[in-house]
Amino acid sequence: MAEGHESPPRGDARAARAAELAARDSYGRLLARLAVRTRDIESAEDALADAFAAALQQWPLAGVPDNPEGWLVHVAKRRLTDSARHRAVRATVEPALVVEEELARSSRRETIEDDRLAMLFLCAHPAIDPAVRAPLMLQLVLGLDAARIAGAFLVAPASMSQRLVRAKQRLRETGLCFDHLDADESDSRLRDVLEAIYAAYGTGWDEAEGAESSVGGLRQEALWLARLVCQAREHSGEARGLLALLLSCESRQPARRNAAGEYVPLERQNPEDWDRQLYLEAEAVLASAATRITTPLPGRFQLEAAIQSVHTRRAVVGTTDWVTIVQLYLGLMQVAPSVGAAVAHAAALSRAYGPRAGLDALHGIPSQAIASYQPYWAVLAHVQQALDLPEAVASRERAIGLTTSAAIRAYLQGRP
Amino acid sequence: MKFAIIVYETAADFAKRNDPEQAPAYWGAYAAYSKALTEAGIARGGAGLLPPSTAVTLRLRGDKRTVQDGPFAETKEMLGGIFLIEVPDQATALEWAARCPSATTGSVEVRAELPPIPQG
């Protein structure tokens, strides 16, 4: 295995991270293929576990092998000793591993279709609790362990493992449906897949607010899944919308903190600090989605990506077109109503038409929806202050009490 | 279900309490958190505690009694206070624990209340 390694320079965290993602990429591909062939996810996971652990350990140091999947299959076969734990696994998975090894040797890997999409669709099966779909995808397609996923989703590790095990049992009981979906079913399942990927990205976003994590939570993983779906479903405007949205958000990452580590809200970010390569890619992806809209209203992710695109345009024209943003949020509230969209719409209204318009919109949001919703109180405090209302103080205090981010807490406390 | 949100703070956190520059933000953050718990209707009590240096620890073992100045054991993170909350489940308790200021500096421990002790 020594030849053909691309050794990353020592201490290069980015290269190590890329090698880790390559290991996850190969693992997900292989697991999906084995699971589709053997119809037994848990045995396939079990068979690959040792090999994958070895890859996670070795690749970031030694580099990614030329034939990553061949490497994994080779190690997996060697490690499948005849222990009691492995006897059953061997019986189901070994024949598939042999086939894999043949394929890997013949190096005609591109002829094999990608089963990971089938796996993603399976994870979004209607029989699976929506809350566990994203964690399941992260585990089955990227091999993340339950503890890491639990941290990102702010769940106790024991509860997360239990939920994942239960979800896999559920898949087994219902009989694996890797089968073909009809067009309607496929569309609604795709929406669920995209929602789950977005949820995974959201945890990475929240995590980055709190922790000083240089790897950025699960954002890279989510972005990677979005690319995967986009490649496999290139006709889907929504898949492109999601990818464009995530790329836009990602492009702002370097600008969200100043040199002192303090929080910088989007409107005060210097567009020079945005990652140009990422937002240009976002623009290109979104533009290609626009030509694929078949329904009268664009979907949720295309609208959200379009909103981000308007913000991005500030890099060129120097100002933000808030009137357009208000319109886009109105559309978003129509296709995918949520308290987040309502609050963001109110914030945009106050920019476009003055704080009074924003305040009226905020007052129109049902009170039970916003009791613990931090952004509502932050926006409310902002417009109340702009109107010189004394209630601003209490609203800001509520926003401070509800944030999980030290930087946002300090930002809100620092305001007069 | 009732849960204790147990606040563990670092020495630097405790020092903020009396630092003229940092005290307002420190107390402001806990006041805001405490108020948010009340406004959400889940606050069921609790107490902030003076720093561990003010503690006295005692042990009675047979006829041997020891009384010691300071906490039971010196650790990197020390008990700073407790919030009691009532929420439907552990997941919600964890959501609230994440909002506790010490989550980003020290740590927060979440524990469910013991069920009633069986009577005789």
User: What is the tens place of the pLDDT at every residue in A219-277?
Assistant: 888 898 899 899 888 788 999 999 999 999 999 989 988 988 889 999 999 999 999 99
- Nearest CB to B94; choose among A156, A401, A410: A156
Residue A69: how many CB atoms within 10 A of its CB? Answer: 20
pLDDT of residue A395: 97
ipTM of this predicted structure: 0.92
CB-based contact A201:A219 (threshold 8 Å): yes
| pLDDT tier at B35, thresholds 50, 70, 90 | very high
Q: How far is CA A46 from CA A32, A87, A104, B75, in A?
A: 13, 11, 20, 40
Contacts of A413 in chain B (CB under 8 A): 25, 28-29
Helices (H), ranges, A10-156: 13-38, 41-62, 68-79, 84-106, 116-123, 130-142, 146-152
CA A121 to CA A229: how far, in whole Å? Answer: 10
pLDDT of residue A200: 86
Q: Do A154 and B32 touch (CB under 8 A)?
A: no
A182-203, pLDDT tens digit by residue?
A: 666 777 889 889 998 998 888 7
Which of residues A392 and A122 earns the better pLDDT score? A392
**Pick from B63, B96, B21: nearest CA to A410:** B21
Residue A366: how many CB atoms within 10 A of its CB? Answer: 9
Radius of gyration from C-alpha coordinates of chain A: 23
Q: Do A405 and B104 touch (CB under 8 A)?
A: yes
CA A345 to CA A339: how far, in whole Å? Answer: 10
CA A411 to CA A261: how far, in whole Å? Answer: 11
Residue A317 identity: V
pLDDT of residue B18: 95
Residue B11 identity: A
Around A90, how many Cα atoms within 13 Å sit in the side-chain half-sphere? 11
Instruction: Report whether pLDDT(A295) > 90.
Output: no
Chain position carrying tokens 């086939």:
A99
**Pick from A359, A365, A319: nearest CA to A339:** A365
Instruction: Report whether pLDDT(A103) > 70.
Output: no
**Pick from A328, A325, A340: nearest CA to A299:** A328
Instruction: Report whether pLDDT(A338) > 80.
Output: yes
CA B90 to CA A409: how far, in whole Å? Answer: 24
| Segment among A189-193, A396-400, B88-92, B104-108 with least mean pLDDT | A189-193
- Of all residues in chain A, the one with the smallest CA distance to B31 is A401
Torsion of CA A64, A69, A75, A79, to 10 degrees: 140
Min Cα distance B52 → chain A (Å) is 24
Q: How far is CA A132 from CA A46, A78, A118, A161, A165, in A?
A: 20, 33, 17, 11, 10
CA A325 to CA A344: how far, in whole Å? Answer: 10
Residue A242 identity: L
Instruction: Report whether pLDDT(A108) > 70.
Output: no
Q: Do B25 and A413 touch (CB under 8 A)?
A: yes
Give the best-scoring range by mean pLDDT among A47-51, A131-135, A354-358. Answer: A354-358
Residue range B7-12: average pLDDT?
Answer: 96
Contacts of B35 in chain A (CB under 8 A): 397-398, 401
Interface size between A and B, measured as CB pairs under 8 A: 57
Residue A156 identity: A
